[in-house]
Amino acid sequence: MRKKQKMQAEEMIRLLGKRHDQIQKAVDAGEPEKAMDLLAWCQEQGIRLGEMIEETQKEDCASVALLETYCERVYEVYEAVGQCRQVNGRKAVRNLRRVLAQMEDSVKHDIHVRREAVFLPYKASMWDSLESVWKAADEDPDCDAFVIPIPYYTKNPDGSFCQMHYEKDQYPAYVPVTGYEDYDFAKRQPDVIFIHNAYDDCNYLTSVHPFFYSRNLRKFTEKLVYIPYFLWEEVEPDDKEAVEKMEHLCTVPGVLYADQVIVQSEKMRQIYVNVMTKLTKNTSADETYWSKKILGCGSPKVDRVLYAQKDKVKVPKEWLDVIKREDGSRKTVIFYNTSISALLESGEREFEKMRDVFRVFEENRDKAALLWRPHPLIKAAIEAMKPELRQEYEELVCEYRKAGWGIYDDTPDVDRAIALCDAYYGDPSSLVRLCEEAGKPVMVQNVEVRCTSTSLH
């Protein structure tokens, strides 16, 4: 039985107790019809309560047997009052009160409360930001955990919705998913909902379906929890310049509307608290409020990447053909990441840098294997904000894939890429922190610098 249902059962028992007092007064006042109406109401409520307990309890429950006894006692009193017997009000309800007290104790101690947790990822490639929390909920015998991938839309340059995307079939096989159409939020009222997209309608590139905006989801649960899908470079809370660069991450709708926000570290928590306290200084949301709401427990993304190991991940054959030499030995694998922000900021210079990187690694393909993984939303970003770059970007991707000497990774599983690689190279990104957590060497590329030597050391 869910917590709300148990509370409802306890409230129904409390109301039955109040009706007993009214029945006693009606009997003693010589008002049999009023007493019989009250008794009929008690009978109906007893039946309703019994049906609710039977539906929500997976095992036999003593409360159901007690309710059957209670309904029998109600009927006996109803019959006695209806036949105009000499009935004493106090004695008439004494047995009812006795059984009701036993029933109240049984509901309190015998009925097992189960929690229901719902996880709402929108991009399969970002599932790692929720997975370890879902695993803990799924392994909890007192919790029913649902993973419900939700649809999202890419946006046109004017901000209107473009194509809808629904990645339900792209999650790991061990994750049971439920279709968003098959879960009735209004009816089920989950105890907790976890989200990793907090932008609502404020994202220029994409939007989840408006039903799943944080300001709407909070209507259907006692606890809405936001866990960011990204990791940010650790900065000191008193570093004003660095904090200004990340303030936009703290002020998204999900932080405002969620009941709990879980961020990557205590330093990051303090930054969120400081920024949000300043933003809401003229409201009741003071520093104490934000300090309780925001927790620095760490990111599930780190849990996932530490769990993934090179010898555990499944590698496609076409990747192995690139990674292994003819003699079976393994090349050094470099994870090459290109980001949205770098492309939007540098445009053609980013393309020139990428071509230069590809040239060097192609010439050294006997030593190293390049695993190129562009940001999963980079095409959507180009469509929405730099459509003039679309053709050149598509040509660059096509040329790289056709050449066949490197790996192109557009799958949802970034942890596989991190597990496989020996080092990271590319744009500044939250992946830098993940690779560092995994113990991989990191080098951030400078879009203005070109390789003067074709040799890799």
Residue that wins the pLDDT comparison between 81 and 39: 39
**pLDDT tens, position by position, 223-251:** 999 999 988 888 899 999 999 988 999 99
Q: How confident is the model at residue 457 (pLDDT cuts 50, 70, 90)?
A: low
Q: 3-110 and 115-303 share one CATH topology?
A: no
Burial class (CB in 10 A: 0-12, 13-18, 19+), 344: middle
In CATH terms, 115-303 corresponds, of 1.10.3210, 1.10.10, 3.40.50, 3.30.70, to: 3.40.50
- For residue 60, pLDDT over 70 is answered with no
Q: Which of 144, 430, 437, 117 is nearest to 260 (CA)?
A: 117
**Beta bridge partners of residue 161, listed in sequence order:** 155
- For residue 282, pLDDT over 90 is answered with no
Each domain of the chain, given as residue ranges in start order, spans 3-110, 115-303, 310-444
Domain with residues 3-110, CATH architecture: Up-down Bundle (1.20)
**Beta bridge partners of residue 338, listed in sequence order:** 374
**pLDDT tens, position by position, 381-395:** 898 888 899 999 999
- For residue 309, pLDDT over 70 is answered with no
pTM to 2 decimal places: 0.73
The CA-based diameter of the chain, rounded to the nearest angstrom, is 109
Q: What CATH number does the domain located at 310-444 have? A: 3.40.50.2000
Chain Cα centroid distance, residue 97: 45
Q: How confident is the model at residue 310 (pLDDT cuts 50, 70, 90)?
A: low
Q: At what angle do helices 131-139 and 300-307 cross, to 10 degrees?
A: 80
pLDDT for residue 306 = 73
Residue whose pair of structure tokens reads 């300001």 in the numeric block? 215
